[in-house]
Chains A and B, each alone.
Chain A
Amino acid sequence: MGRKILLDKINVPGIKTYEVYRREGGYASVEKALKKMTPDEVVEEVKTSGLRGRGGAGFPAGMKWSFIDKKSGNPRHLVCNADESEPGTFKDRYLMEYIPHLLIEGMITSSYALGANLSYIYIRGEYMWVYKILERAIAEAKAAGWLGKNILGSGYDLELFVQIGGGAYICGEETALIESLEGNRGNPRLKPPFPAVKGLWQNPTVVNNVETISAVPWIINNSGADYAGIGIGRSTGTKLISASGNIKNQGVYEIELGLSVYEFMNSDEYCGGMQTDRPLKALVPGGSSVPILPANLIYKTAAGEDRLMTYESLSDGGFATGSMLGSGGFIVYDDRACIVRNTWNFSRFYHHESCGQCTPCREGTGWLEKVLWRIENGQGREEDIELLWSIQSKIEGNTICPLGDAASWPVAAAIRHFRDEFEYHIRFPEKVKNRDHFVHEPFEKVKHLIAKQEV
């Protein structure tokens, strides 16, 4: 049994309510921080913990906090990124829905560390019911004296607001989120300046993911060193993984980082193995934007070692042989899945969500989608594979924000690892016109056709 930090109390009846949460030891981190620690000590503790941002990029949270410009004298803000729009990722919602006070407690402790008196939770508009749960929890916390003026008589003031987004994936990108929070169109800003210097209303701002902030209470209660003791190397602590696809038990799991992918996939505590007896074909380990892994690279790294659920092991050897832990959206495919169709589907999403500010992403994502759609519908041309490769490589690295990269990686990885499947679509258009082609005839069975054609 892995150690639970975030979901430890999730099954306590009534944990959603303030009374039960408090009775179970909730808000202790606020008491400890405000009464016994200076803000800098809280930052140090988070630094020691090695906690890395759980929103996707994995940047060390304590380090990000220490970048915040305290000298400018301007007000500072903490913004919680609860936009959670990465396809395949549904972990933040679980935390907020079932144990909302954990996030609020984390927000108070973290805001204190940053010296922020005005903090926000930016939640995606589609999570309306979660928004209501949070509003209620904030009201409860305020009534109990954990928010407002002079909290616990410490002289520290904090107001916390929840803001609903308009429902755009791009509003999860931190600078677009800030724009949206200010009431503007959710377009990413150019960096630098980074939010830690000029963020919300040009004030120093830290944007952190729900899961990142929710880990802070445990770190303060127990110590950064204890947290760093969980996990492996620079991947410390626990991580929520939202598992979906062709596995027995879909759901949200808390794992200790360093668990092997094999165990996560197959043990009954987690995914419970494949849903049916069909073979495992591919895995997207960290949400739709990260590269897909083919079967032979799922359990073993390129060096032949066991692949672990860590930032390092999943990205082993770069994108040619690795992927990313990303936001922890673990999507499993069995042999019925059509990789071309899946890639088209992801592309469709990025095309739809591109903010349209910069040329490569605005025009390139649409182009990718159209070409993929043609191939999937039996209208592909031989040169289309090279074309796709070329388009994605021209988007990557040339855009304002990482959405351009997120749109190009899945395409690159699909071509890299499943090129023959693209060729099959192009050479046998009549076979793929039926949407369910691989359901009736898994690719493994028809693969020989491509080889034959080449002779």
Chain B
Amino acid sequence: MKVTIDGQEIEVAPGTTILQAARMIGGESVPPAMCYYSKLKGTGGKCRCCLVDVTKGSEADPRPMPKLVASCVTGCQDGMEVASKKSDRVAEARKAVTEFLLINHPLDCPVCDQAGECDLQNLSFEHGKLQQRFIEEKRTFEPEDIGDKIQLHMNRCIVCQRCVEVADQLTDKRVHGVLNRGDHSQISTCVSAAIDNEFSGNMIDVCPVGALTDKTFRFKSRVWFNKPFNAHRECTTPGCCGKTTLWMFGNEIQRVTARKDEYHEVEDFICNTCRFDKKDVADWVIEGPRKFEKDSVINQNKHFGKTEKVVIETEKGILQGRDIDRKKISMAEIDYNEKIDGNPVNGKQNG
């Protein structure tokens, strides 16, 4: 079957979804996906990030589809024409979905453990608005302990339900799911501290935001300070591929994750023993450093290209005209002996 996405034609097998076809083409036309996860069956359709405009239904029925459709769950038809990057309606809708996702999501990236590998960060970078129109109070949840390996920070959850699918598809006793409705929906366990299945750690890998994080790694390091390596070991857990990414700081293995592809989806799931218990270099056969896209934040501090000077335009209103203080934001420009109110800057009063 022939499908055209943003003017790029591709031949696909029946049963291929528009998203999969777009991924085959690659590049800018690939719609963002927050809930679809190719390695988990039956995911997709929920987050509505991947909406596209079908401008021609098929050769047999060329009528355009009236509404935007979720590309992750819409199958290709022969002769179908799709606008993704090239449609204003789509751009508008993605902007709207991003805005919706951000209204209740805490904007605390600087203290979130997912910073640097957060899909929502990437989504808002590409599709976000500059202004915030939501002035209401964000909804919050009581912290909950769901087990000794995984930290749940519900305020950050975007209810993509990928973790529920992991629990459904990879673990034998499903103990967690969604409680409540609407924006009160909440990921939770039926009894607190209940998640202990051997494959439960994969929930961490599939979570697109910082709602589920690894208790053995939490706050140890920013991901861009780690160096990722491909590694494997003879794992005896049935169902575990034993192939991982080790996140190293010097010779120390700070974190173990499954290997992820360019869409941040794991290549194969791993067991909790590999993930949480094997933190010794001797446990692993290290294959070599892992490559990431050139502009990935994980590559930060690891390249030597020329960087441009960043000029921060701080709004006058916020500083209320305190221009002297403003200069001090740039520490290099502060005279070591400068005095404030007659006291040296590095004097006692200033700590």
Contact = CB atoms under 8 A, between A and B. Distances in A.
Interface of A: 168, 170, 185, 190, 351-367, 370-371, 374, 387, 390, 394, 397-400
A366 B161 CA distance: 20
A363 B68 contact: no
A394 B51 CA distance: 12
Contacts of B139: 366
Given A357-B46, A398-B48, A362 B182 contact: yes
Given A168-B181, A352-B181, A398-B96, A358 B48 contact: yes
A197 to B, nearest CB: 14
Nearest to A170: B181
A360 B45 CA distance: 12
Interface string B141-164: 000000000000000001101000
Given A360-B97, A362-B183, A387 B47 contact: no
Nearest to A381: B135
B1 interface: no
A359 B182 contact: no
B61 to A, nearest CB: 14
Given A360-B48, A363-B104, A354 B182 contact: yes
Interface string B165-186: 0000000000001101111110
**A351, A363, A371, A390 — which one has the most chain B CB atoms within 10 A of its CB?**
A363
Contacts of A374: 136
Contacts of A366: 104, 139, 182-183
Nearest to B66: A397
A353 B68 contact: no
Contacts of A351: 182-183
A366 B104 CA distance: 10
Given A365-B182, A367-B100, A398-B97, 7 more contacts: A355-B181, A356-B180, A356-B182, A357-B46, A359-B47, A367-B136, A397-B67
A411 B184 CA distance: 22
B178 A356 contact: yes
A46 B159 CA distance: 43
Nearest to B73: A190
Contacts of A390: 133
Nearest to A189: B45
A398 B68 contact: yes
A385 to B, nearest CB: 13
B47 A363 contact: no
B292 interface: no
Contacts of A352: 181-182
B159 to A, nearest CB: 6
B46 A363 contact: no
B310 to A, nearest CB: 31
Nearest to B45: A190
B125 interface: no
A357 B178 CA distance: 10
User: Which 5 residue pairs spanning A and B have beta carbons closest together?
Assistant: A356-B185, A394-B96, A354-B182, A363-B100, A370-B136
Contacts of A363: 100-101, 103-104, 183
B219 interface: no
B134 interface: yes
A262 B29 CA distance: 54
Nearest to B95: A394
Contact of B93 (A354, A357, A367, A398): A398
A359 B101 contact: yes
Contacts of B49: 359
Contact of B103 (A357, A367, A400): A367
A374 B137 CA distance: 12
A356 B159 contact: yes
A400 B45 contact: yes
A192 B99 CA distance: 28
Interface in B12-70: 45-49, 51, 67-68, 70
B212 to A, nearest CB: 18
A154 to B, nearest CB: 41
B46 A358 contact: yes
B47 A358 contact: yes
Contact of A353 (B48, B99, B101, B182): B182
Interface in B59-87: 67-68, 70, 73
A325 B104 CA distance: 35
Interface in B91-116: 93, 96-97, 99-101, 103-104
**A366, A390, A397 — which one has the most chain B CB atoms within 10 A of its CB?**
A366
30 contacts: A190-B45, A190-B73, A352-B182, A353-B181, A355-B185, A356-B182, A356-B183, A356-B185, A358-B45, A358-B46, A358-B47, A359-B46, A359-B49, A360-B48, A362-B159, A362-B183, A363-B103, A364-B100, A366-B139, A366-B183, A367-B103, A367-B134, A394-B93, A394-B96, A397-B68, A398-B51, A398-B67, A398-B93, A398-B96, A400-B46
Contacts of B178: 185, 356
Contacts of B136: 367, 370-371, 374
Contacts of A397: 67-68
Contacts of B161: 357
Contacts of A354: 181-183
A93 B12 CA distance: 51
Nearest to B133: A387
A48 to B, nearest CB: 28
B106 to A, nearest CB: 14
Contacts of A394: 93, 96, 99-100
B103 A399 contact: no
B10 to A, nearest CB: 23
Contact of B100 (A360, A370, A387): A360
Contacts of B99: 394
A439 B181 CA distance: 34
A253 to B, nearest CB: 33
Nearest to B164: A185
Contacts of A356: 159, 178, 180-185
Nearest to A387: B133
Nearest to A367: B103
A400 B50 CA distance: 13
A170 B181 CA distance: 10
Nearest to B100: A363
Contacts of B185: 355-356, 362
A398 B68 CA distance: 7
Interface string B259-287: 00000000000000000000000000000
B41 to A, nearest CB: 14
B51 to A, nearest CB: 6
A155 to B, nearest CB: 39
Contacts of B100: 359-360, 362-364, 367, 394
Contacts of B73: 190
B81 to A, nearest CB: 20
